């Protein structure tokens, strides 16, 4: 065994009063400069994203389509049609009673005035209320029962599965994310932004001084750790023991290794405390390499962009976003799921109700006034023809010449 050596004196880090044998220097260095690089990189990307927006991105929306304006007018009839239905039901209930209680000379004029109104308004009310009921039956009742459960909630699990799969395949699949990042030039911005950030950081004297101290502390802690000395000693002992000479001269050296092997191990272990001085010697080369690293990153832009793209795509795939979306939807209660599905189409659902009332009213008029049937038919043909002409014109305008 090796005789116990005198513990060598620790070497103080350059420009540091002493070296603490822990991870505090490296940890502070990584936290400080890693956070600095991340913050500067994020700020740079935000600025580039803001300056790279298209000029037309902030323009005001154009004129609303005719269909939206008509739907707005139709929806103004929502409450009138709702209460009209209630009044019609009350009248139908009251009419038999009035027929039996009122004198004939009073009831007949009342019936003569009400009959045409009922004939016209009944289809309107029926059209409105049947559509209203159909929409309600999509979502209500929300919970299972022996009579009826809202169709949406009855197939909740299948709907959630379909929504999650549809969102994943049509909106945020790895291929879609990759295509968007390429079309928007995000990969190039990432490479350029990261290179510029590193260049700014590497130019700071404070960064270089702290990097030197962190490297010195790391090497010093490693070489002066008892476990390191023990591992080096065991490795040298095993290497000397297993070494075999090939030539006659090497054989003679092999036969005498029990004499020189001890010396080699002592010298190697004695040299370990001097290893931190290597940091002082090689650090100028490290600095020179760091100065050229941003240029190397920019020069290898296409290759680096491919690596970044692959990492992002693999990251998106590993997240299993479909499972995340499905899990979030499953956490929603019945009311929250209904709100999610209808919050952006509530006006359109009301239009379904009111349009049923309007079209029912037109049908009622056509039933009473026969000439109106031809007018409505001609109006329908005119609207269809206008639609066909405008669609064909727009399709022709979009076709490249």
- Considering only CA atoms, give the Rg of the chain: 42
Q: Kindly state the DSSP code that residue 146 receives in the 8-state scheme.
A: S
- Let me know if residue 333 belongs to a domain: no
- Let me know if residue 111 belongs to a domain: yes
Report yes or no: 131 and 122 within 8 Å, Cβ to Cβ: no
- Let me know if residue 218 belongs to a domain: no
Domain of 97? Answer: 68-157+343-398
Query: Per the structure, how many domains does the chain have?
Result: 1
- Let me know if residue 109 belongs to a domain: yes
Each residue's pLDDT, cut to its tens digit, for the chain (401 residues) gives 344 444 444 444 444 434 444 557 777 878 877 777 778 777 776 766 655 555 444 555 668 888 899 999 999 999 999 999 999 999 999 999 988 888 888 888 888 888 888 988 999 999 999 999 999 999 999 888 989 999 999 999 999 999 999 988 888 888 888 888 888 777 777 777 777 888 888 888 888 888 878 887 777 777 777 777 777 767 767 766 666 555 655 555 555 556 566 666 676 666 667 766 777 777 788 778 777 777 777 776 677 777 778 888 888 888 888 888 999 999 999 999 899 989 889 999 999 999 999 999 999 999 888 888 899 899 989 999 888 888 766 665 565 55
**How many H helices and E strands in the chain?**
18, 0
- Let me know if residue 322 belongs to a domain: no
Instruction: Quote the CA–CA distance of 369 and 361 in Å, as a whole number.
Output: 12
- Let me know if residue 128 belongs to a domain: yes
* The token pair that represents 372 in the structure block: 């109106």
Q: Which of 76, 183, 163, 126 is nearest to 363 (CA)?
A: 126
Place of tokens 């990759």: 178
- Let me know if residue 180 belongs to a domain: no
- Let me know if residue 81 belongs to a domain: yes
Instruction: Quote the CA–CA distance of 80 and 354 in Å, as a whole number.
Output: 10
In this structure, how many other beta carbons lie within 10 angstroms of the beta carbon of residue 222?
13
Q: What is the DSSP string of 42-96?
A: HHHHHHHHHHTS-GGGGPPP-PPPHHHHHHHHHHTTHHHHHHHHHHHHHHHHHHH
Q: What is the DSSP string of 266-309?
A: HHHHHHGGGTTHHHHHHHHHHHHHHHHHHHHHHHTHHHHHHHHH
How confident is the model at residue 31, as a pLDDT?
Answer: 80
């Amino acid at each position: 065994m090796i005789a116990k050596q005198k513990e060598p004196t620790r070497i103080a880090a350059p420009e540091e009063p002493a070296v603490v044998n822990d991870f505090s220097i490296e940890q502070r260095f990584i936290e400080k400069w890693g956070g600095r690089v991340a913050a500067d990189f994020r700020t740079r990307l935000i600025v580039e994203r803001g300056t790279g927006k298209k000029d037309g991105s902030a323009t005001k929306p154009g004129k609303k389509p005719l269909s939206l304006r008509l739907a707005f007018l139709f929806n103004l009839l929502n409450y009138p049609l709702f209460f009209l239905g209630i009044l019609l039901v009350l009248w139908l209930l009251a009419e038999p009673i009035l027929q039996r209680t009122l004198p004939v000379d009073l009831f007949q004029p009342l019936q003569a005035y009400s009959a045409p109104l009922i004939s016209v308004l009944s289809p309107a009310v029926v059209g409105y209320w049947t559509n209203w009921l159909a929409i309600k039956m999509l979502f209500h009742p929300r919970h299972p029962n022996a009579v009826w459960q809202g169709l949406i909630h009855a197939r909740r699990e299948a709907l959630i599965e379909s929504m999650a799969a549809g969102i994943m395949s049509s909106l945020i699949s790895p291929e879609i994310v990759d295509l968007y990042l390429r079309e928007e030039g995000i990969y190039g911005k990432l490479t350029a932004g990261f290179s510029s950030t590193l260049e700014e950081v590497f130019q700071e004297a404070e960064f270089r001084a702290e990097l030197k101290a962190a490297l010195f502390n790391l090497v010093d802690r490693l070489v002066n750790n008892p476990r390191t000395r023990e591992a080096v000693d065991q490795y040298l002992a095993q290497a000397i023991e297993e070494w075999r000479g090939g030539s006659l001269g090497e054989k003679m050296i092999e036969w005498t290794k029990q004499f020189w092997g001890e010396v080699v191990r002592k010298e190697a272990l004695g040299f370990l405390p001097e290893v931190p001085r290597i940091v002082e010697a090689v650090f100028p080369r490290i600095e020179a390499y760091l100065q050229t690293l941003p240029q190397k990153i920019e020069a290898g832009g296409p290759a680096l962009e491919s690596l970044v793209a692959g990492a992002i795509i693999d990251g998106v795939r590993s997240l299993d976003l479909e499972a995340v979306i499905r899990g979030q939807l499953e956490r929603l209660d019945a009311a929250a799921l209904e709100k999610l599905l209808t919050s952006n189409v509530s006006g359109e659902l009301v239009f379904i109700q009111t349009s049923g009332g309007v079209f029912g009213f037109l049908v009622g008029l056509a039933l009473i006034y026969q000439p109106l049937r031809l007018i409505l038919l001609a109006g329908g043909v005119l609207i269809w023809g206008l639609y066909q002409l405008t669609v064909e014109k727009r399709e022709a305008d979009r076709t490249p010449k």
